[in-house]
Structure 1
Protein backbone atom coordinates (compact mmCIF):
# COMPACT_ATOMS: atom_id res chain seq x y z
CA UNK A 1 0.00 0.00 0.00
CA UNK A 2 1.27 3.43 -0.93
CA UNK A 3 2.14 5.62 2.03
CA UNK A 4 -0.16 8.59 2.25
CA UNK A 5 1.57 11.95 2.56
CA UNK A 6 -0.41 14.67 4.24
CA UNK A 7 0.42 18.41 4.26
CA UNK A 8 1.11 18.24 8.00
CA UNK A 9 4.32 16.32 7.29
CA UNK A 10 5.93 19.12 5.24
CA UNK A 11 7.82 21.44 7.57
CA UNK A 12 8.26 24.08 4.85
CA UNK A 13 4.51 24.63 4.74
CA UNK A 14 4.50 25.27 8.48
CA UNK A 15 7.38 27.74 8.21
CA UNK A 16 5.60 29.70 5.48
CA UNK A 17 2.28 29.75 7.36
CA UNK A 18 3.94 30.73 10.64
CA UNK A 19 5.81 33.56 8.89
CA UNK A 20 2.63 34.83 7.27
CA UNK A 21 0.75 34.76 10.58
CA UNK A 22 3.57 36.73 12.24
CA UNK A 23 3.42 39.31 9.43
CA UNK A 24 -0.37 39.55 9.67
CA UNK A 25 -0.14 41.34 13.03
CA UNK A 26 1.49 44.75 12.52
CA UNK A 27 3.40 44.70 15.82
CA UNK A 28 6.58 45.51 13.90
CA UNK A 29 5.28 48.99 12.99
CA UNK A 30 5.81 52.01 15.26
CA UNK A 31 3.15 52.42 17.95
CA UNK A 32 0.29 54.79 17.19
CA UNK A 33 1.02 55.17 13.48
CA UNK A 34 -1.92 55.65 11.18
CA UNK A 35 -0.45 58.02 8.60
CA UNK A 36 -0.58 57.87 5.63
CA UNK A 37 -4.25 57.28 5.05
CA UNK A 38 -5.01 55.69 1.69
CA UNK A 39 -8.65 56.26 0.73
CA UNK A 40 -9.37 56.92 4.41
CA UNK A 41 -7.89 53.63 5.61
CA UNK A 42 -4.57 53.40 7.52
CA UNK A 43 -1.71 51.77 5.60
CA UNK A 44 -1.34 48.99 8.14
CA UNK A 45 -4.87 47.79 7.28
CA UNK A 46 -3.70 47.23 3.70
CA UNK A 47 -0.76 45.23 5.04
CA UNK A 48 -3.15 43.00 7.02
CA UNK A 49 -5.45 42.53 4.01
CA UNK A 50 -2.49 41.70 1.76
CA UNK A 51 -1.08 39.12 4.17
CA UNK A 52 -4.56 37.61 4.61
CA UNK A 53 -4.77 37.25 0.83
CA UNK A 54 -1.34 35.55 0.82
CA UNK A 55 -2.48 33.14 3.55
CA UNK A 56 -5.56 32.26 1.48
CA UNK A 57 -3.47 31.70 -1.65
CA UNK A 58 -0.97 29.56 0.27
CA UNK A 59 -3.68 27.38 1.82
CA UNK A 60 -5.40 26.96 -1.56
CA UNK A 61 -2.10 25.88 -3.12
CA UNK A 62 -1.42 23.40 -0.31
CA UNK A 63 -4.91 21.89 -0.56
CA UNK A 64 -4.70 21.53 -4.34
CA UNK A 65 -1.16 20.13 -4.55
CA UNK A 66 -0.45 18.26 -1.30
CA UNK A 67 -3.78 16.89 -0.10
CA UNK A 68 -4.53 13.30 -1.17
CA UNK A 69 -8.22 13.15 -2.14
CA UNK A 70 -8.24 10.16 -4.52
CA UNK A 71 -8.82 7.47 -1.92
CA UNK A 72 -11.85 9.25 -0.50
CA UNK A 73 -13.32 9.66 -3.98
CA UNK A 74 -12.80 5.96 -4.71
CA UNK A 75 -14.53 5.02 -1.45
CA UNK A 76 -17.53 7.17 -2.36
CA UNK A 77 -17.77 5.50 -5.78
CA UNK A 78 -17.75 2.02 -4.18
CA UNK A 79 -20.71 2.89 -1.97
CA UNK A 80 -22.74 4.38 -4.84
CA UNK A 81 -22.83 1.11 -6.76
Structure 2
Protein backbone atom coordinates (compact mmCIF):
# COMPACT_ATOMS: atom_id res chain seq x y z
CA UNK A 1 0.00 0.00 0.00
CA UNK A 2 1.20 3.47 -0.87
CA UNK A 3 2.10 5.49 2.20
CA UNK A 4 1.47 9.14 1.29
CA UNK A 5 1.20 11.91 3.80
CA UNK A 6 -2.12 13.67 4.01
CA UNK A 7 -2.02 17.29 2.86
CA UNK A 8 -4.62 19.87 3.79
CA UNK A 9 -3.95 22.79 1.45
CA UNK A 10 -6.71 24.90 2.99
CA UNK A 11 -4.35 25.64 5.87
CA UNK A 12 -1.53 26.95 3.65
CA UNK A 13 -1.65 30.74 3.52
CA UNK A 14 0.39 31.08 0.34
CA UNK A 15 -2.31 29.25 -1.62
CA UNK A 16 -4.91 31.83 -0.57
CA UNK A 17 -2.59 34.77 -1.22
CA UNK A 18 -1.85 33.64 -4.78
CA UNK A 19 -5.54 32.92 -5.37
CA UNK A 20 -6.50 36.41 -4.15
CA UNK A 21 -3.91 38.04 -6.44
CA UNK A 22 -5.14 36.07 -9.45
CA UNK A 23 -8.77 36.89 -8.59
CA UNK A 24 -7.94 40.60 -8.41
CA UNK A 25 -6.33 40.29 -11.84
CA UNK A 26 -9.43 38.68 -13.34
CA UNK A 27 -11.70 41.58 -12.38
CA UNK A 28 -10.78 44.61 -14.50
CA UNK A 29 -11.58 47.24 -11.84
CA UNK A 30 -8.15 48.82 -12.15
CA UNK A 31 -8.55 49.92 -15.78
CA UNK A 32 -9.57 53.44 -16.72
CA UNK A 33 -12.58 53.95 -18.98
CA UNK A 34 -10.27 54.48 -21.96
CA UNK A 35 -8.95 50.92 -21.72
CA UNK A 36 -11.58 49.71 -24.19
CA UNK A 37 -9.70 51.34 -27.07
CA UNK A 38 -6.55 49.21 -27.46
CA UNK A 39 -7.39 45.83 -29.00
CA UNK A 40 -5.34 42.66 -28.68
CA UNK A 41 -6.32 39.76 -30.93
CA UNK A 42 -9.72 41.41 -31.44
CA UNK A 43 -10.46 41.84 -27.71
CA UNK A 44 -10.40 45.07 -25.76
CA UNK A 45 -7.35 45.27 -23.50
CA UNK A 46 -9.38 44.73 -20.31
CA UNK A 47 -11.14 41.66 -21.74
CA UNK A 48 -7.86 40.17 -22.98
CA UNK A 49 -6.19 40.59 -19.58
CA UNK A 50 -9.27 39.18 -17.83
CA UNK A 51 -9.20 36.13 -20.14
CA UNK A 52 -5.45 35.64 -19.51
CA UNK A 53 -5.96 35.77 -15.73
CA UNK A 54 -8.87 33.31 -16.06
CA UNK A 55 -6.60 30.85 -17.85
CA UNK A 56 -3.92 31.41 -15.19
CA UNK A 57 -6.51 30.71 -12.48
CA UNK A 58 -7.60 27.48 -14.18
CA UNK A 59 -4.00 26.33 -14.43
CA UNK A 60 -3.26 27.26 -10.82
CA UNK A 61 -6.32 25.47 -9.46
CA UNK A 62 -5.55 22.39 -11.57
CA UNK A 63 -1.97 22.38 -10.33
CA UNK A 64 -3.20 22.68 -6.73
CA UNK A 65 -5.56 19.74 -7.15
CA UNK A 66 -2.85 17.53 -8.62
CA UNK A 67 0.10 18.50 -6.42
CA UNK A 68 -1.21 19.90 -3.15
CA UNK A 69 -4.25 17.78 -2.41
CA UNK A 70 -3.79 14.38 -0.85
CA UNK A 71 -6.77 13.71 1.35
CA UNK A 72 -7.92 10.68 3.27
CA UNK A 73 -10.90 10.03 0.98
CA UNK A 74 -8.68 8.59 -1.76
CA UNK A 75 -7.21 6.03 0.61
CA UNK A 76 -10.60 5.23 2.14
CA UNK A 77 -12.13 4.65 -1.30
CA UNK A 78 -9.27 2.34 -2.29
CA UNK A 79 -9.62 0.33 0.92
CA UNK A 80 -13.38 0.15 0.47
CA UNK A 81 -12.96 -1.12 -3.09
CA UNK A 82 -10.55 -3.80 -1.87
CA UNK A 83 -13.00 -4.79 0.87
CA UNK A 84 -15.87 -5.14 -1.61
CA UNK A 85 -13.88 -7.54 -3.79
CA UNK A 86 -13.01 -9.83 -0.90
For Structure 1 versus Structure 2, the TM-score category normalised by the shorter chain is: 0.7 to 0.9
TM-score normalized with structure 2 length: 0.77
The runs of at least 4 aligned residues of structure 1 exceeding 4 Å deviation read none
Q: Normalising by structure 1, what TM-score?
A: 0.81
Q: Does 2:83 correspond to 1:74? A: no
Gaps of 5+ in 1: none
Deviations 1:2-32 (A, max 9, x none): 8732110111110000100011111111124
Distance 1:24 1:8, change over 3 A: same
Q: What is the CA–CA distance in structure 2 between the aligned matches of 1:54 and 1:76, rounded to whole Å?
A: 36
> Conserved in 1, the CA contact under 8 Å of 2:35 and 2:45?
no
**Could you list the runs of 5+ residues in structure 2 that have no partner in the other structure?**
none
**SS of the counterpart of 1:33?**
helix
Query: Is the partner of 1:54 in helix, strand or coil?
Result: helix
In structure 2, the CA distance between the partners of 1:3 and 1:37, relative to structure 1 (3 Å rule), is closer
- For the aligned residues, what is the CA RMSD? 2.1
Number of equivalent positions: 80
